[in-house]
Copies of this chain bind each other. A is one copy, B any other.
Amino acid sequence: MIRFATIGSNVIVDAFLRGAAHDPRFAWQAVYSRTQERADLFAAKYGITKTYTSLQALAADPQIDAVYIASPNCFHAPQAILMMEHGKHVLCEKPLAPSLEESQAMVCAAQKHGVVLMEAMKTTLLPNFARVREALPRLGTIRRYFAQFCQYSSRYDRFKNGIIENAFRAGMGNGALRDLGVYGLAPLVHLFGMPQQLQASAIRLSTGVDGQGSVLMTYPGMEAVVLFSKISDSRLPSEIQGEAGRIV
């Protein structure tokens, strides 16, 4: 049994808890939120009694084995490193951190303290991804990878009305690339490795955060295009094209 605390109280934590409830090894012990009010509200929703508003206190709790971190991206690295320094395993929402440097610091901390650090991104671990990988040889020479994740954000309506939430606030490490683009990029890198060349563009909102973007990458004999947006919707499917066939 692994005794978990959660950091954050947004809808993604609800989704995480719904999933974790299916695993009898998962024992949810404590809630952290920045304010006592939110911590109490979230804990009460699930009948949990232990709450924290201090990360130091949470890190020092010997009754906690692991933490699930779902705070704004800019807090992932400092929070995860603090927890790992206290011997706690970390399951961190994607992206691990907004920068390569911070991500590397997190990996170093995990190695130094002998704990598990895992990014909570499951797409490449699902059975359908394994099926895609198995099907690739039947496509012949692979020529194109196309993926998109364009989903109009409800927060963007509020943004246009002058209410700027974390998702669109500068300095929080968010934006369309980190929030949605990764879902197209991660499977690409898992299947084909790093590209030889990369070209990209983005539409930046008034806060400087990217609301939308496009990435064009080249591999030997293959091109990849990944599109993402939080300010418009798409119904296009993703597609891998080979000379002998395609997967949609």
Contacts of A235 in B (CB 8 A): 239, 246, 248
Q: Which stretch in A14-22, A65-73, A103-111, A211-219 binds the other chain? A: A211-219
A155 close to chain B: CB less than 8 A: no
B216 and A199 contacting across the interface, CB-CB below 8 Å: yes
The answer to whether the Cβ of A231 comes within 8 Å of any Cβ in the partner chain is: yes
Query: How many copies of this chain?
Result: 2
CB distance from A100 to the nearest CB of B (A): 23
Name the B residues within 8 Å of A227 (CB-CB).
144, 146, 223, 225
Residues of A in contact (CB 8 Å), total 36
B223–A214 touching, CB < 8 Å:
yes
Majority-rule SS of A interface residues? strand
Complex contacts, A241 vs chain B, CB 8 Å: 150, 229, 232-234
Interface residues of A (CB under 8 A from B): 143-144, 146, 150, 152, 156, 197, 199-201, 203, 212-214, 216, 218, 221-223, 225, 227, 229, 231-237, 239, 241-243, 245-246, 248
Those 5 A-B pairs whose CB atoms lie nearest each other, nearest first: A232-B241, A199-B199, A143-B232, A216-B216, A201-B218
